[in-house]
Structure 1
């Protein structure tokens, strides 16, 4: 008889549980999917059922009886089975000061909610979600204490012009427009060298060498014969013009006219100021027409050829200012302008060459010196809406900023970005001047926002079953 009585008690308990579940479901259907319905608390002996947990130990609970994906019944959790104050048996939502608690979420960010306070397997308390915090996709509300703890800082969205410095490296080169080569137009022998060392500084008109040329001696004699003949001046003038065509200086031609004597040697002079970069002339050597004997460069102005990375070439414009610092001259800054952007790109280094013209009156800048360059550029001349770069959350596919919509409330907002310079990002769409954006701790808030969005997706389906 005792066994029969026990069985009847079990059947009675089961029927009461099913009846309670049916009543809970009918109440849910009558009032819509609302988390405000009370959690079932059925009399089983002298204890009440607080909620039902997943039979496999997963972090998933339900306020009403249900089955998991394998068809196993959820296990009831009775009053007294969990270490929680008596108030935990009350249904959600429950009042917490002026706000109502809607549900409790997993403290580790897992997609798990509970209608009553509980702990996770590690003993951490579930976090309460208050009324109003769930509204809006991704909107997150944070208490003032947590805002202070995270170190959240915001700034007003404003307008400003934007400039940018492009850093590059380069080498000092000779200004090609100030390079001269001494290559006589006649055949001759060098009898004396006046400038006989590489690196020597020469001035325009300074003697470089004395040469003997049978061709020049013959041209002088032809002129003298034509002048003595007393005939037409055309023949004499033709002889002088021949000397001019061979680059004989005008002062030597005037001496020939004045003295009436042909000179055996000719003094060849420098055609411009500069420094001797190369010297092929040797005393006693014979040279042929067009053979280079000296290479002279005027270094009063030089070029700095800078290698600018491919992604920065679009920011480089002609005429903009540049500053160069040479490793060999610490503490000295040389200023110049961008004179030319070369039309080709170096495939190996993915850099383009930019020519900067630098004045060098003291001659401190020497060819092939290594230099670091700062190129100044106005990226956005007219004031535009900008935010600090730290305010932008760039996922690669979209750009987001966190906009402060109220005290402790932050809304992720997708924006379209433009140029970047001076630590700021131009915003072409999505923000207005005067709004406040988060510039510090925004990654933490964004993680919280994504968590809320995830919980909203999981919780929506879960609440429909409650």
Structure 2
């Protein structure tokens, strides 16, 4: 069970252990060879094995294909004393607790020994395995692995929500021209779909018997010299013309000339673009038929589809930068006006409306745009670089640099992310330093350290020789 639990930690730390070993193997190799020769001069080898560790053996001395001598294996090879290295000499004043496998495998020994490849087990001194939750790194290892740290500071988190959308007309700036009584189109101006028109510009002339009757009645009342209720009756006749949607300039002209026109001229109610032209000379228009549809595009809407996960960050009034794909390099500025209270069940997005000024009329309906909503909070918060966080999905932690090669893993609670930084809500204080590079290697080493401790001291005691008999693995 111990071996199975440690596979993950060993796999992550294998590379680190290999690097640590091979970095100094050149210096140790000659020392090992000399010590081994002196220690085994009076013993007879049982057989010889391949110097590269391949599963090849020989009964007598032999060379491999590279010209290297096969290594002798003696009867008591596992109990052979390990050579004294400069590192051991420097640390001889400290007590050796046990020896661990040089390749990082979960195998320890209470006495010096070699692994199947002839490598000496690495001594673990008293104080090296202090259970304080920290990882200790030598200056050389810090330099080789490129460990860097950065202080924790307070800074504003810039969270930018990006979303696609389209340009749509402002519903409040669209007008239609429709007849309220049966009419006939007598003449249509030189206006087509897509034409830009000004308010008051003539569009067509129509004849309507209902309009002509109301106009004659109104003129008779304002020209009559009788005094009994003429003003009240005149106001009613004028209101009838207004109910038939006769343009105000036409009514004013009738009052000035005291003449009822045969045809009535209809003009554009606003500046804009003709989106629809259904009027044809000589046609009959029934009540409700739309003859012209005109939209003012000096102000348009950008309807943006914001992902459901980002809805908690957006609010009405936030500034938005709109970039049209038709005009790269140009930015249109606006603010969120409405967040629609519905989420699309298929796309899991909610619609957000941004109002944009369009003075040069380059933004057209159904044009694709990209929006960047600035949700930054001006208040600074405690933040760390994104690269410093180790996130397993259920737990987030950082490695705190305590100085002198001491690294402390610490669990944290995170908040918003943006601009390469993550808000830390709990677990750190301002001024502490966190590791921003090589943190995965350090995390792997800490896992290996914990694994070796649990393996060697699983029952609260140091490993014995019986634990390594036969296969060399802890039973």
TM-score, structure 1 normalization: 0.77
Please name the residue that 2:380 is paired with: 383
Measured in 1, the distance between the counterparts of 2:190 and 2:93 equals: 97
Measured in 2, the distance between the counterparts of 1:429 and 1:330 equals: 42
Shift of the alpha carbon at 1:364? 0.8
Give the superposed CA RMSD. 2.4
Measured in 2, the distance between the counterparts of 1:132 and 1:222 equals: 112
Q: Which structure shows the higher strand fraction?
A: 1
Cα 1:308–1:120 shift into 2, 3 Å? farther
Q: Unaligned regions of 5+ residues in structure 2, if any?
A: 1-41, 44-73, 465-475
Whether 1:146 aligns to 2:146 is: no
Q: 2:393 aligns with which of 393, 396, 406?
A: 396
Cα 1:85–1:451 shift into 2, 3 Å? closer
- Structure 1 residues 343-374: Cα deviation after superposition (integer angstroms, max 9, x where no partner): 11112121111111111101111111111211
> 1:279-358 to 2 correspondence within 5 Å?
279-358=277-356
Q: Unaligned regions of 5+ residues in structure 1, if any?
A: 1-45, 48-76
Q: 1:265 aligns with which of 260, 263, 266?
A: 263
SS in 2 for 1:293: strand
Shift of the alpha carbon at 1:83? 7.1
SS in 2 for 1:461: coil
Please name the residue that 1:181 is paired with: 176
SS in 1 for 2:446: helix
Please name the residue that 1:158 is paired with: 153
Please name the residue that 1:222 is paired with: 217
Measured in 1, the distance between the counterparts of 2:455 and 2:109 equals: 12
Report the number of matched residues.
387
- Structure 1 residues 181-240: Cα deviation after superposition (integer angstroms, max 9, x where no partner): 222322211111115310111111111111001011111111233344422322233212
- Structure 1 residues 298-347: Cα deviation after superposition (integer angstroms, max 9, x where no partner): 11111111111111121111111111221111221111111111111112
Shift of the alpha carbon at 1:409? 1.2
Whether 1:406 aligns to 2:385 is: no
The answer to whether the 8 Å contact 2:319/2:373 transfers is yes
TM-score, structure 2 normalization: 0.76
Cα 1:361–1:412 shift into 2, 3 Å? same
Measured in 2, the distance between the counterparts of 1:122 and 1:187 equals: 104
SS in 2 for 1:444: helix
The answer to whether the 8 Å contact 1:174/1:297 transfers is yes
Q: Relative contact order (C-alpha < 8 Å, sep 6+): which is higher?
A: 2
Shift of the alpha carbon at 1:99? 5.3
Whether 1:170 aligns to 2:168 is: no
The answer to whether the 8 Å contact 1:94/1:101 transfers is no
Q: 1:199 aligns with which of 188, 194, 197?
A: 194
> 1:8-47 to 2 correspondence within 5 Å?
none
Measured in 1, the distance between the counterparts of 2:94 and 2:421 equals: 39
Cα 1:199–1:99 shift into 2, 3 Å? farther
Cα 1:99–1:295 shift into 2, 3 Å? farther
The answer to whether the 8 Å contact 1:118/1:125 transfers is yes
Measured in 2, the distance between the counterparts of 1:99 and 1:206 equals: 101
Cα 1:390–1:86 shift into 2, 3 Å? closer
Please name the residue that 1:274 is paired with: 272
Cα 1:110–1:366 shift into 2, 3 Å? same
Shift of the alpha carbon at 1:132? 2.7
